[in-house]
Each structure stands twice: as C-alpha cells, then as structure tokens.
Homo-oligomer: A and B are copies of this chain.
C-alpha cells in the first residue's frame, strides 16, 4: 500500500524511529479488534468506536415423531437466519470517566414482528468516580447469571444454554452502583430496575432489585467463555447473585394472551412460563393476583492452557400475593471445552438441566450439546457448529402427547465483528 506522510518523513530522516512510534499512537483514527473503527478528538476528551456484529446461522431441527398422530405431524425445519445483526457504539465523552454504550440489534425485527420490545440492547451512561465506585444509568443486562452477562459474541457454543434463557431476567432499564475492588479480585454491583424487561417500561410502582458479587482469587477474569487466549496461569472466578421483583396481574401475563413484560424468565419457554402451566388447579395462581419473584444463582469458571469449564445453578420461586401459592423451579448447566489446536480449534461439551416446577412430575428438560469451533481471529471471526439432543419429558414435550421427545438440533454459525 501507499507510504504515509510519517513513512516518508522517517525515510528522509526528518523524524526519528521513536517519533514515528509515538505518532502512530496519536492517530485520531484507529481500528480496534472487536470494536471497529475508533475516533478520538484532538483534545482527548471524546472517543468513540463504531463496529458491527454479524451472527449468520443455519439451524436444522429434526423433531421427534413420538407423539405424532394422523392429525398432528411434527414439523421439522431448515432455517437460514440473521440471528444477531448489531451496530455498536461505545466510547467516552467530556471525560474518559464518562463512558457510554449503545447497541442496536436490527435482527430484533423479523417476520414483520418486533421481539425483545424493540431494537435497543445496552444503552447506558457510566460514570466512574473511582474504579471501586461507579454509577450506571440506562438499559443494561441485568447482572444475573454468568453466561447471560457474557457477550453473545463470546460464547463457547453457537448460543447460550436453554438454562440461561429460562432463568435470567434479560435486559432492563435502571440505575446501578458497581465497582472493581483490589484490581478485580472482587467485583460487585447493586441495581434497581424498572422490572418489566427490555425496552419495556413500568406502569406500576413495583421495581426490581438485583445484586451480584464475583471473586477472582487469581486476578480479574473477563466474561468470555473458551480459553482462546491460552492462559499461561490458571484463572478462577466464582459468583453469586440475587434478583427480586413483583409483577402485577397484568404484567405477569398469567394467561399468556397478553404481553405484559419482556423478562426472559417469564417467556413461554422459560422456567416461569412452563412451570405455571403445571400447577394443579387447587394450587394455581389466581388470574388477578400479583406475584413476588425471588431468584438466585451461583456460578464458577476456570481457564488454563486452552482448557475451560463453566457451571451455574439457578433457583427461582414465585409466590402469589393473594393465594400464597408457590411455584419453585431450578436448573443448572456445566460445560467444558479444550483447544485441540491452541488458539484456533476447540471442542466442547455441555449438559443442561431445567426443572420448571419442582412439585410437578415428568417436566424435566435436559440438553446434551457438543460443539466444534474454529477461531479464525479470536472471538472476532469464528465459525461454529454444534449438535444438541433436546430431551423433554411428556408434560413439556415438543409435541403434545404422552411420550418423551428427543429432538435433534444441528446449528452452524459464522460470526464476524467488524
């Protein structure tokens, strides 16, 4: 490519090698891997990176025919999909302590329908008083569940586990105090949220509360799966979190006919959505009552020399304010991966377990997933394929009937951050 002015001046001896290196750093425009092009103002007070995220996916779903009848056939599918298509801006303004993030996921509109309440994901302002004391205002991931907090672009499998989708609240709008203590040995956050989920705003006075604590005894651990960095020293992180919320009768969507919230754990394929349908009539929630939700999880992650393992356990309970009826669910997953070619090719296995209603029988949902991933350029450019056996007991089987179903799912995905 053409020589730049700095190249020419270095050749002519007008500037030195040291000058040259320093000048490169001062450039108002840079490319940052995983973030996109970065622009910085001459006074250093403003900086922004603008980038894109592509997750282009093919999914083959072979449904189990165990419950087939003449009138009802399981409908397999062969689907090409724009799974996530995002524009991301992040940077700082007025001061390096005042950062912002803006994530727009255009794939949230598909088939003419808007999912997740709208297009916006992380959309917040963060002010750092100290590393230990920071304030965040706006929409963010509710800091509940390690895998959920991990970017969808930094997953070990084609997508997060069914357990994570079944138990986390998702995104919400609110205010958070958080910080890193002792350089990241301990991280905490305490937050209040509107409480009805992504791009959806509260029309009652009930708000949600969440808190999370992580301990990283061997040094700060980033929220990414896979040891694509081939960590020379072992890394360990353990975390615990808690979430509580109250949803009114119109918000909780007991009948599944209206959408009163955009909380992940309340969707029809999640813990609450599945579990409430399995309550016997005598112990069901009444249509007009508000529910209190209390949820907690513990998790751990480990990485060393291309090997990585992650596990989480979730506990969740909903309590009817009028009937005092109770729904309790639980779930966990454990996954591990190893780079058979360091930094490039990884194989991974995951076991997922969901019990949407601990007091009901025949309602277990178990997944076994195997994956192979080619990290062409770290997490920024990768090609992944995974295979899942989706085992659902009769009460929640993929086609209604008296038999367990074992569906086979194959996914292939190209991910590019630019």
Contact = CB atoms under 8 A, between A and B. Distances in A.
Contacts of A113: 114
A30 interface: yes
Interface stretch (A98-106, A235-243, A395-403): A98-106
Contacts of A181: none
Contacts of A8: 15, 19, 22-23
A124 to B, nearest CB: 7
A381 B93 contact: yes
Contacts of A26: 1-5, 7
Contacts of A54: 100, 102, 123, 125, 138
Nearest to A207: B78
A203 interface: yes
Given A24-B42, A110-B118, A202 B416 contact: no
A79 B202 contact: yes
Contacts of A82: 120, 123, 138-139, 173, 199
Interface in A49-104: 52, 54, 56, 58, 75-82, 85, 89, 91, 93-94, 98, 100, 102, 104
Given A27-B42, A94-B377, A204-B76, A2 B14 contact: no
A44 interface: yes
Interface in A298-313: none
A79 B79 CA distance: 38
Nearest to A192: B80
A17 to B, nearest CB: 12
B3 A203 contact: no
A271 interface: no
A402 to B, nearest CB: 25
Contacts of A19: 3, 8
A37 interface: yes
Interface string A166-195: 000000111100000000000000000110
A160 interface: no
Copies of the chain in the assembly: 3
A4 B98 CA distance: 24
Contact of A203 (B75, B174, B207): B75
Contact of A80 (B102, B104, B111, B174): B174
A120 B102 contact: no
A219 interface: no
B111 A414 contact: no
A117 interface: yes
A260 B406 CA distance: 28
A201 interface: yes
Interface of A: 1-9, 12, 14-15, 19, 22-31, 36-37, 39, 41-46, 48, 52, 54, 56, 58, 75-82, 85, 89, 91, 93-94, 98, 100, 102, 104, 106-107, 109-115, 117-120, 123-125, 137-139, 172-175, 193-194, 199-207, 259, 262, 376-377, 380-381, 414, 416, 418
9 pairs of A and B residues whose beta carbons are closest in the complex: A31-B41, A109-B118, A2-B25, A2-B26, A93-B418, A80-B173, A80-B194, A4-B26, A78-B205
30 contacts: A2-B23, A4-B26, A8-B15, A8-B22, A9-B9, A12-B14, A24-B42, A31-B43, A37-B48, A46-B418, A56-B138, A75-B203, A75-B204, A77-B205, A79-B202, A80-B194, A80-B207, A85-B120, A93-B418, A106-B123, A109-B114, A109-B117, A111-B118, A111-B262, A112-B114, A112-B115, A112-B118, A112-B199, A112-B259, A114-B114
